Amino acid sequence: MSSNPVLTKVALITGAAGGIGHALADAFMASGYTVLALDIADKPETLDCHHYIQADLSRYTAEEPYARGVNLQIFRLCNGRLDALINNAAIQVIQRVETITREDWQRTLNVNLLAPFFLTQALVSILAEAGGSVVNISSIHARLTKPQFVAYATSKAALSAMTRSMCLELGQRFRVNAIEPAAIETEMLKQGLVATEGAYEILKDYHPVGRIGSPNEVARATVWLCSNESSFTNGACVLVDGGISNALHDPT
C-alpha cells in the first residue's frame, strides 16, 4: 500500500545576507525546510540556501510593477507552497531629530514596516493553504529606545503593533508573531559601537545574563515560533533580550 509523499516545508527569509539572516537560513535548513533567501546584496558565498532572490524591498513597497516581478519569482521558486515567512530585513538609520531626512524616514519605513506588510499580503493565499507562520523580526527598540534611534524605534514599534493586529484578521488561517531581540552580535552592532572605546564591554555587562546575544539564539526562537510546538502562540511579541528590558538605567 503506497503512502502519500511528505512535502518539504518552505521558508522565505528576508535580509538573509546579514548576520541574523545567515543564522536563520542555517536553522531552517537544519530543520528540513526548503529555504528561499532574499536580500538586496549579492549572495554571500557563506550563505547556505536552496534559492536566492536579489531584491530591493524599498522599491518593492514603492513600485507596484517591481513588486509583481518579485512576487512572481517567489511563487515560482516556492512552487505554490509557503510554510514560513520570516520578515528579517531591516535598516538602521542613526540620526538626531534635527538632522534626520525625509529619505531616511521613507527608506526606514519601507524596509522595516511596509515590506513585511506587503509581502504578507501578497503571500496570504499560500501561507493559509499551508497553515503556516509569519515571524516579524522586530526589536527591543519597539519598547525601549535611546537617542538618535527615532526612525528605527518607530518602525519597530509599528511592526510589533502590526503583528498583534494582523493576527486578529489572519489567526484562523495562519499565525503571525514577532521576536524583539536586544543586542545581538552582528557586524551591524559592532560597527555601531566601534566609535566609542569600551562600548562593547559596557553593553555586554549591562545585560543581566552578562553577555550579548547570538544570531543563533534569535534563529532558534524563530524556528520554534514556526513549529507545531508553539501552535497556540499567536500575535505574541517575544523578547529575546537577556533580561535587559528589566534593567532600570539610573544615572544617579
Exposure letters 54-84 (e unless 16+ CB within 10 A, then b): ebbbbbbbeeeeebeebbebbbebbeebbbb
- 52 part of the active site: no
The one catalytic residue among 33, 52, 152, 200: 152
Instruction: Please give the positions annotated as active site.
Output: 152
